[in-house]
Amino acid sequence: MAISVWRCSLTRVRAMWLNKRCLSLYNSSHGFNETEIKEKLANFPGGSVDLTKGANGIAELCVNNSSRMNAFTGTMMIQLEEQMSELESWQDGKGLIVYGAGNTFCSGSDLKAVKAISSPQEGIMMCMFMQNTLTRLQRLPLISVALVQGKALGGGSELCTACDFRLMAPESEIRFVHKQMGLVPGWGGAARLIHLIGSRNAFKLLSSTAKVDPEYALKIGLADEVLNCVDDRSLEEAHKWLSTYTKGSPAVNRALKKVILSGREQKLEDALRTEKDIFGTVWGGPANLEALSKAAKHK
Ligand SMILES: CC[C@H](C(=O)O)C(=O)SCCNC(=O)CCNC(=O)[C@H](O)C(C)(C)COP(=O)(O)OP(=O)(O)OC[C@H]1O[C@@H](n2cnc3c(N)ncnc32)[C@H](O)[C@@H]1OP(=O)(O)O
């Protein structure tokens, strides 16, 4: 009995490890040493990244370092990565809301930590670590939405581009300030921004470091909705907005996200084949059989 439990958990750990390797961009073959960068990041503590998984299949991920406008310390970067593993294996999950504590979103990486990680080699390691994590966020089998209140700056603006959708509260702003810091985005924000708003608009935002307010974000397709509320009520509003898209069973929602991801990331022929495979996982499944038994009419 004990041996079979041990074997089972070993298989689960191995599956999680393989899953993570598949979903990430960089591994040891790219010169990436995750253990080394995690040891380095652990030297910069403070704040937390808190995950709450709701019984309705919607999780909330809170970037929480309010005395520093929710800047990412080293330990928060590690926690964000760990929360991705938790969400990847959440079979009942359908949606995710990413938001910041204390009515602001996130002011990027903690400048105190960044100063201490100033060699290009270490910078690249941190960049690979965060690209891996944000790529895993983007590839979660959940519909993800960033709730931007207050400011999303630097790495914070990059974080919000890793979600499927962005909701902006009144008076909020998204700002790619990297150029003013003598940098370019490094957490994958430039590549994702181009996909979202096209290279001309992305070029303008990155080179001007302009503040993007909710109305302009909506106009260029960076935001999906401008909310009416601020404070705690905006989280409620975000739940309501997301619920329009997460109706139905977790299995169908997750399958839907997978076909969107393959269409987004793969060549057309490969995406079509993936779509066929995913279709096979829901055809004749419980949700499909239930809908057929009701002889649904879509009036
Ligand atoms: C690839 C990502 C990229 C990288 O790491 O390579 C980055 O993300 S670089 C970081 C980009 N972010 C910034 O440069 C933000 C700098 N901060 C500001 O511009 C302002 O603080 C602002 C606009 C976020 C807020 O201004 P406001 O006047 O409303 O508040 P305070 O300035 O008084 O801020 C309160 C408190 O928070 C500390 N703070 C804010 N941001 C950071 C940060 N990124 N790292 C560390 N600490 C931060 C700020 O210093 C204040 O603390 P205090 O002890 O009172 O000085």
Q: Give the number of the atom of ligand 1 that is nearest the alpha carbon of residue 183.
A: 6
For residue 239, report the distance from its CA to the centre of ligand 1, in Å: 28
pLDDT of residue 7: 60
DSSP secondary structure letters along 145-173? EEEE-SEEETHHHHHHHTSSEEEE-TT-E
CA–CA dist 174, 151 (Å, integer): 6
pLDDT of residue 57: 98
CA–CA dist 293, 73 (Å, integer): 52
Q: How many helices (H) and strands (E) does the chain have?
A: 13, 8
Pairing of strands 48-53, 58-64: antiparallel
For residue 148, give both structure tokens: 């931007």
Query: How much is the pTM?
Result: 0.93
Q: How many CB atoms lie within 10 A of CB 181?
A: 14
Contact of 72 with 114, CB cutoff 8 Å? no
Give pLDDT tens digits for 46-60: 999 999 999 999 999
pLDDT of residue 16: 63
pLDDT of residue 297: 79
Low-confidence residues of the chain, pLDDT below 50? Answer: 1
Residues touching ligand 1 (Cβ under 6 Å) are 68-69, 71, 107-112, 114, 151, 153-155, 177, 181, 183, 185-187
pLDDT of residue 293: 92
ipTM: 0.97
Give pLDDT tens digits for 205-242: 999 999 999 999 999 999 999 999 888 899 999 999 99
